[in-house]
Amino acid sequence: MDKGKTDKREAVLRAALEAFAEFGFHGAPTSLIARKANVGVGTIYRYFENKDDLIEEIHERVHTIIIRSFAEHYDPRLPVRENYLAIFTGLTRLFMANPFDIRFMEQYYNSPYGIEKKRADEVECDKPLMDFFDQGKQQQAIKDLSFEFLLGLSFGPVLFLVRDHLQGFVDLDDQSITAFVEASWDAIKR
């Protein structure tokens, strides 16, 4: 793909991410996305079969960023607690720096798209975190709870707190992020 096509495709992806995060999947017509990307509506369909294809592409990209953050902050040589603190501090900062990404992902997993993935047992995206929690349980550092409970006790509070930060209800700085992540560790530690 040449540079001009790549730039247009990237512009469509960025505009769609922002439009979906701001207006929802159904509230963001392709005409709005095209206007935000400074392209014609037909250009969107050169790169994406339909709106669902566009949504899935954005999900895959954002998910890859989250997995990359996990990998960057995980060190198998460190104890489970230190890894947990590093991973969830990194994820908190990532979400704070990328408000459209987190709003998109929350919407995705609360929509038929995400529900369908979960029902189809497509949990490959959860595998690194699932393996980490399993390691913690095997080492008896983490409570013997289901993955869903551990995810809810770890990820849920991060999403809630970052959302409140982005809406101006709470101010997160390094000290408060550290205190918060340590408190979430206390919820799952054995």
> Which domains are delineated in the chain?
1-48 (1.10.10.60), 51-188 (1.10.357.10)
Q: What is the pLDDT of residue 95?
A: 95
Q: What is the dihedral of CA 186, 187, 189, 190, to 10 degrees?
A: 120
Q: What is the pLDDT of residue 3?
A: 59
Q: What is the pLDDT of residue 6?
A: 72
Q: What is the pLDDT of residue 103?
A: 92
Structure-block tokens of residue 69: 């953050």
Q: What is the pLDDT of residue 1?
A: 52
DSSP, res 189: B
Q: What is the pLDDT of residue 125?
A: 61
10-residue block means of pLDDT along the chain (190 residues)?
A: 74 97 96 96 95 95 92 93 96 96 92 80 70 94 94 91 95 96 96
User: The pTM is what?
Assistant: 0.87
| Close Cβ partners of 142 (under 8 Å, ≥ 6 residues apart) | 80, 133, 136, 150, 188, 189, 190
d(CA 17, CA 40): 17
d(CA 23, CA 27): 5
Q: What is the pLDDT of residue 5?
A: 66
SS3 142: strand
SS3 19: helix
Q: What is the pLDDT of residue 137?
A: 96
